Amino acid sequence: MINRQQIGGRLSLLDKVFPALILFCMGAGLAMGRIAPELWLGLEPLIPLGLFFMIYPTVAKVPFRALRRSALEGRPAILSILLNYLVNPLLLYVFGWLFLRNYPDLWAGLILLGIAPCIGMVLVWADLGGADNPLSVSLMAWNSLIQIVSVPVWIYLLIGARISLPAALVLESTLLYLGLPLIAAYLTQRATLKARGEEWFRRRLTPVLGRMQQTALLATIVVMFALKGEAILNAPTLIGYMVLPLALFFFTLFFVGTFSACLGMRLSMDKSVTVGFHVTGRNFELSIALALTIFAASPMVAVSTVIGPLIEVPVMLSLAWIGRNLVAHYPSCCVPEIPRQADASAVSRRDH
């Protein structure tokens, strides 16, 4: 039996305390916004720079070479794409209608959290959950490319149907905060691998990129809450309304993805939980960036997207524990393996 301590022990200290750091930065931003609001207004033009450095390191860690191997993993890739880019946005739209239809800004934030799969931390959650790592890398590489097209389409279809949105602004924001970082990341990765090699990139540069991403995210949250905090102080209980639909979404998608691969495609359990993690993790960095640009006049949209990582981290830790136990007890999908000793005894009894 795999326990939670074993799983938690494989996370870095910063990963373990990250939800607490987000809460601290939210509180610090609220306090500083009330103490010196003029100071933070001067920092507002720096938000796009923070958003870029929040997304660029994530994409820079995507192993683009894995796209060449992904053709060998056709069935799980197709299932992952179907769930991520067709089922997920519609499911969060339905959850938004069920729980948040009287709060359109929170509903919009919920949809933004659902339209793009994670392309960073998902590798950690999948590895902790006993996933197939080569397949995990392939799925993440594909997701980094597909969401450039899917994100503006779903924003316009799901949110633009209820709120007037300029199509040009949606496309511009997507290209600025996903397309541009993707190009920069590809060039960085190609130059680094050529000059230093894959080992140096993985061991030396990747940790630096991770720290850059987390620092940019936390700094952006401080500035964002200093500037937009008045919306929270006027209605603090609204944020709590995001918790149930988000938690329900994460658990639903993990089990739908895992057991669709397991029962529907008869994949091994390690490949099945890989699909489960890749349809569950969300690209909340991109969601925050899009909320701050497309919905600049509606601060509660951006605030609601920050709730994503607060819910995602503890939920994904729980799913990692569940996934590793599924892989340990049902490696060949949903039929427990017969212990060898017991199997040998059965053969002996038949012989007699």
DSSP 337: P
N residues, the chain:
352
The mean predicted confidence, pLDDT, of the chain is 82
Q: Check if the beta carbon of residue 275 is closer than 8 Å to that of residue 88.
A: no
State the Cα–Cα distance between residues 297 and 38, nearest whole angstrom.
Answer: 19
Q: What is the pLDDT of residues 45-61, one digit of tens each?
A: 788 888 888 888 878 87
User: According to DSSP H, which parts of the chain are helical?
Assistant: 4-8, 13-35, 37-43, 47-60, 74-82, 88-100, 104-114, 122-128, 133-154, 167-174, 180-195, 198-200, 206-234, 243-259, 269-280, 284-294, 299-329, 340-351
Tell which phi-psi region holds residue 173, choosing left (phi > 0), alpha (psi between -120 and 50) or beta. Answer: alpha
How far is residue 49 CA from its own chain's centroid?
A: 21
Q: Residue range 260-264: average pLDDT?
A: 92
User: Exposure of 189 by Cβ count < 10 A (0-12 exposed, 13-18 middle, 19+ buried)?
Assistant: buried
Predicted TM-score (pTM) of the model is: 0.77
Q: Domains of the chain (ranges plus CATH)? A: 66-198+238-328 (1.20.1530.20)
Lowest mean pLDDT among 23-37, 118-132, 187-201, 327-341: 327-341
pLDDT interval class at 67 (50, 70, 90) = low
Q: If phi over 0 gives left and psi between -120 and 50 gives alpha, with beta otherwise, what is residue 118?
A: beta
